[in-house]
Each structure stands twice: as C-alpha cells, then as structure tokens.
Structure 1
Amino acid sequence: MKPILETKDINKYFTDPVEFHVLKDISLKLERKEFVSIMGKSGCGKSTLLYILSTMDTNYTGELIIDGKNVSHESKDNLARIRSENIGFVFQFHYLLPEFTVLKNIMLPALKLGKFDHKTIKKNALEKLEILGMQEQADKKASRLSGGQKQRVAIARALINNPKIIMGDEPTGNLDSKNANIVFDILRELSNELDMSMLIVTHDKDFAKKTDRIIEMEDGYIIS
C-alpha cells in the first residue's frame, strides 16, 4: 500500500536578508495509521518542513505526494481543497475564535469546504465533541474554556472534515504535563480508531518517545 504522505528531495531556501539553505534533500514517508514525531533544536527546519508538507508553503523544489498524488505543482485553489479534504491541523496556540461558541468554531472548516449542508456539519461537529468528551461545552463561548479544553476543541476542529492526516506544531507546548498526556492519548486513540496518520512537531521528549517513530532533524537535514 502506498504511504499516505511522501516527499522526494525537498529543498527550501530563504532569500531574505541573505540566501540560506533551510531544508536539504528531505525524503520521508508517512505510512497509513502511523504516528510519527519530528524533533530537533529550534531553527533546524522542522516547522518549515511541516508547512511544506501541509501544502501551505509552495516555494520549494522536490516532490510532495499526498495519498498517491503528486501535489507539488498544483494551483493554490486546488491545494486549498486538497488540504481541507486530507489534512487537519493542531497548533501550539489553539486559534479558536473567542466570540464564537465551541460548536461554531468546530463547524467553520467544514462550512468553508462546503461539501455538506449546515445540518449535517452540525451533527458531525457534535459527534467530534462527543469523541473528545466535550459535548457539554458545545454552546459555551470558546473564551470561557480552560487551556486543556481549548486544545481538545482545536483537535475536534481538526477532525471535522475527516482528514487522513493530522499535523501538529507543538500541540502540547502550552500545556502542563497532565493535559499534554491527555492530548497524546486522544491523538493515539484517533490514530487507532479512525485510521488517521499523525505527524507531530514537538520538543517534548516524553511525547515523542510514545510515538511509533521519531524523525530527528539537524541543520536542515533528517539525521535519523
């Protein structure tokens, strides 16, 4: 079976203020249902790599293949659709809209994608909240949640379009160890139960040790 995500010889340069070779010959594979963490010191290129893998950064050379399709030269509109259908994101900062309810925050990516009607999207959003044990919070304003609750809502939002891959950029970076463990357990369960692949950039060694595999980066290279 083909990997869910693959890169071949990805190179990336920053040109301002001087030319800097930030990613060097990155070739990797993410298998279906695999839970992988990316580690490395600050500035090694891991977040830059994640933005390329997520199709948000298109200024690179090499090939990016998602679910068997080479997406390296797709238009911005096509990439936005591919991203919405295949990838869910969880960041260090939850980026919830504080004035909206929990339910509305979760529904937004699906409303934007426009594949289903409002009633279906609402039903799906409530199901995602139930998976995360947050159904009682549906009508609460996002601003009234604790940090751990906000991150769980952010995961529910990442799930709303039933993506094949969840990508995380330091998703436990702002949480205490108890909530970090809860977030890890949720992601592990989603990987097992919903057949999702996880690709998580983290500094948290305890988190990374529990994943299936660690990709280690240094100075723009994958070293292990």
Structure 2
Amino acid sequence: MVNLDSDKEFLITLDTDWASPEILGYVSDLLKEFRTSAHWFITDNGFREAGINDAPLFSIGIHPNMMEGSTQGRSVKEVFDYLLNLAPDAESMRTHSLFQSTPFFSEVIEHYPQIKTDLSCYTPFNPNPKPFNLHLDNGSICRLPYIWEDDLNMYMPESDRFLKWGAFTPETTFITTDFHPVHIALNSADMSAYKRMVSEHSLSSVDLKTLRKYRNNSVYGTEDFLRDILSQCRSVSLREVTAC
C-alpha cells in the first residue's frame, strides 16, 4: 500500500488502447465502486460495448493514432473523422504514443476546433503542472500536462515507481495520471505479463478468464496503486481543471 496525502486531488484518465469490452467493463466497474470521475480516451468502439459512454461519472475524449499502420486512418482527417464519429461530443485528446508536432496541432486547431484540450504533454514528477495555451498562427489549444503513466512508470528504476511522493510535498495538490485498462486488469508491475498475453491473444477480444492467467497477484501493481488513490484521495473531472 502507498500512503497518500488526502488533500491531493487526482484527475484519473485512461487510454483504452484497443482493450476488449470485458477489460474496459472490469475497470469501469472498479471506478464505479468508488464513485470516481474519470476521463477515457477512446481508440475504437469497445467503450460503447462496455457502456462507458452511458456512465454519468465518465467523460470521453479521443486517442488518435497517427503512427504508421494506424487502423484509424492514414491522415489527420481520416483518423479524427473516424474517432469523432464514435464520440461526437469529445472535446479533448491524447495522442497515441504521444505523437505531436506544430503542423499537427495547427491542423487540429483549424479543422477540429471542438477539440479544445490536449493531454499529450508528459512531464514526469513535475511538482507544479499547470495547463497552458499553445498558440499557433491559426489559433490555440489548451494543453494539460500529466505527470504519471502506468507503462512508462514501469521502465523507471524500481525505487521511483508508482510515485516519488516527496516531489509533491507540500506544494503539489493536483495530479493527472494516465492509466491503461489492460494494466489495471493485469495489475501490472512491469511489462512482462502484458507482453506474454498479447503475444498469445488479441487484446481486442481477450476475456477476463484468459487475462487472469497472466495477472500479477504477487507484488504491488497498477490496480493496487489505483485503489490506493481512489480510497485515499479525491478525484476530479476534466472540466474542473482545464482552465487555460
């Protein structure tokens, strides 16, 4: 167990990353158990099959994959049209693999002005993360840094994993995190179980019975950390914090 300061507020965000509806439903039920606000960045239609779009505590953003070979499309237009057809009310994004460039943001600002907030700015252990406007020649977009991501956390030295809490005492009271449902369901402590599972099964269709064969139950992991956050701290919604 990690002991957290109860005065800290967390924005829980999740990148669905093509996880199966069963995995998404497992995580959705966990968040509902704690009556937690959460913001989901969606990659495909699985979130609808899991009923995430119908939960009042949840909000939806898009997770565009601009990398070569993307199943969402081959251009900004194709990718964004695909995702906004699935989530037409989305106003935020986090890019897959944190893809970013000024020409990319300029195109989003010009053609998709409904996307007002970007959360693709990863600044690990930043003691005082604040939203800021990225101004370009055709407008601006609000960027909200986040300071912890489950899979990137797993590559850090073991002593720094989950959170180096000294970096947030006492001035940091607000922390944005990025979870992946598959790592919550696996209770991942490193990438080994995930790599074994996806080498043998398709992530988009794996069921919970199969996933449990790979789940970490021996050391502190991602679901343990999430439960510690939810039981000790207040969660907030994206709308409460994105004021550029």
The alignment's TM-score, normalised by the length of structure 1, stands at 0.33
The structure with the greater share of residues assigned to strand is: 1
